[in-house]
């Protein structure tokens, strides 16, 4: 077939898929090649994200869960966001093993469904939690007085519970429609989705509801926040610095997941026949999805790195945790006084023990 021919998928033929995002069907006549050397660097990236994300997100969960004093709304969102990233990270060794085997899934259909369910649910939870955090920041900065009754720890916890309920619903199609799909030529099976039009339409709808819609809410809130920060009376240094951390988290999530979401939308439209693709573009789509999946998966370890780079209190607590218990009692008084003095001068911490004027 000439390279300009449209994509007309052949029934029963599928390519390897280690991303948990569904199987891309082979063309009946279009040539198709795997991403060059993907079997080597893709699993290496997944395992590196696992090695960094597991202790990093576990430390964030431990740090926020044991926080003394009244819990702020931002504390609740940060805690649940770390739990979502932790659940995502735990699936990465499975996909790394499948990637190293050329997309062949060696763990059985049960783990295929559960890992896809975890990926879909935690990705949805991350997007919705960031949208909830952006709404909380919008209320705190743009409407600080009238929003006080709605910015309580109880409201934040109720919002997070609603987010997890939505995430469970978003993951249900993975339990129903994902499973082992045989690879052509008797090369084993991959973990993928059914190729029916109904499943493709449902996937496109979920992308809109669990990614595009939360992203639109976040962008609206941060645009309004940016406008407010440029107008007098100016917001103090502490709110600005805490907002810088949250902006970095949101920007990293969008930069990591937007290419994947856009390419997945193109993929669903092509499978539904609404967007015929020539062979060259189909190959570019396959390779682009493989690269975008790596970028999206690596995001699961990004937030602890952001806290480490931008949050002074988090760095201090991470250093104390790395030093172990030896000598901790002898340094307890001096380190507490130093941290309190630092927080009073900077006020930039999401993890600080002191009160945040804006949070």
Which tens digit of pLDDT belongs to each residue from 12-45?
333 333 333 333 443 344 666 777 888 888 999 9
In a domain, 159, yes or no: yes
In a domain, 309, yes or no: yes
In a domain, 121, yes or no: yes
Q: Using CA atoms, how far apart are residues 302 and 354, in angstroms rounded to an integer?
A: 25
**Tell me, what CATH number does 150's domain have?**
1.20.1070.10
In a domain, 150, yes or no: yes
Q: Using CA atoms, how far apart are residues 252 and 30, in angstroms rounded to an integer?
A: 36
In a domain, 5, yes or no: no
CA nearest to 218, candidates 171, 257, 263: 257
Q: Where are the alpha helices (DSSP H) in the chain?
A: 38-65, 73-89, 92-100, 108-141, 153-177, 197-207, 213-229, 237-271, 279-298, 302-310, 312-323, 328-346
pLDDT in tens, 207-251: 999 999 999 999 999 888 888 877 766 555 556 677 788 889 989
Report the alpha-carbon angle 323-325-329, nearest 5.
110
Q: Does residue 180 contact residue 189 with C-beta atoms inside 8 Å?
A: yes
Quote the domain boundaries for residue 145.
12-323+332-346
DSSP state letter for 56: H
In a domain, 354, yes or no: no
In a domain, 357, yes or no: no
Q: Does residue 49 contact residue 297 with C-beta atoms inside 8 Å?
A: yes
- Global pTM reads 0.81
What's the domain count of the chain? 1
Q: Using CA atoms, how far apart are residues 91 and 202, in angstroms rounded to an integer?
A: 23
Residue entry with tokens 């939870």:
125
- Does 355 score more than 90 pLDDT? no
Q: Mind giving me the DSSP string for 272-312?
A: TTSS---HHHHHHHHHHHHHHHHHHHHGGGHHHHHHHHH-H
In a domain, 358, yes or no: no
Give the residue-averaged pLDDT of 323-342: 44
pLDDT in tens, 175-215: 998 988 887 666 788 898 887 888 889 989 999 999 999 99
Q: Using CA atoms, how far apart are residues 68 and 293, in angstroms rounded to an integer?
A: 38
pLDDT in tens, 57-73: 999 999 888 877 677 88
């Amino acid at each position: 077939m000439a390279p300009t021919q449209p994509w007309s998928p052949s029934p029963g033929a599928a390519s390897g898929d280690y991303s948990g995002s569904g199987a891309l069907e082979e063309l009946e006549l279009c040539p198709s090649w795997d991403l060059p050397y993907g079997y080597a660097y893709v699993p290496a990236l997944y395992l590196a994200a696992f090695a960094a994300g597991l202790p990093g997100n576990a430390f964030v969960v431990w740090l926020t869960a044991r926080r003394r004093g009244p819990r702020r709304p931002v504390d609740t969102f940060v805690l649940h966001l770390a739990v979502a990233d932790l659940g995502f990270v735990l699936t990465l060794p499975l996909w790394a093993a499948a990637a190293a085997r050329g997309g062949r899934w060696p763990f059985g259909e049960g783990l295929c469904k559960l890992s896809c369910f975890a990926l879909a649910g935690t990705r949805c939870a991350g997007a919705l939690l960031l949208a909830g955090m952006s709404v909380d920041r919008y209320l705190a900065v743009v409407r600080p007085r009238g929003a006080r009754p709605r910015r309580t720890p109880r409201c934040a916890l109720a919002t997070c519970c609603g987010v997890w309920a939505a995430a469970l619903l978003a993951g249900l199609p993975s339990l129903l429609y994902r499973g082992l799909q045989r690879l052509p030529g008797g090369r084993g099976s991959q973990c993928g989705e059914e190729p029916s039009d109904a499943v493709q339409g449902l996937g496109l709808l979920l992308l809109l509801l669990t990614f595009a819609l939360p992203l639109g809410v976040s962008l609206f809130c941060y645009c309004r926040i940016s406008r407010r920060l440029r107008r007098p009376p100016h917001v103090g240094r502490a709110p600005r610095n805490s907002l810088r951390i949250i902006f970095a988290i949101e920007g990293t999530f969008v930069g990591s997941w937007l290419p994947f979401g856009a390419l997945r939308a193109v993929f669903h439209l092509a499978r539904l026949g609404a967007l015929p693709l020539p062979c060259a573009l189909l190959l570019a789509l396959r390779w682009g999805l493989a690269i975008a999946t790596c970028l999206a998966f690596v995001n699961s370890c990004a937030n602890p790195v952001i806290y480490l780079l931008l949050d002074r209190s988090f760095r201090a607590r991470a250093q104390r945790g790395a030093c172990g218990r030896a000598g901790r009692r002898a340094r307890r008084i001096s380190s507490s006084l130093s941290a309190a003095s630092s927080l009073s001068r900077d006020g930039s911490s999401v993890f600080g023990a002191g009160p945040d004027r804006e949070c």
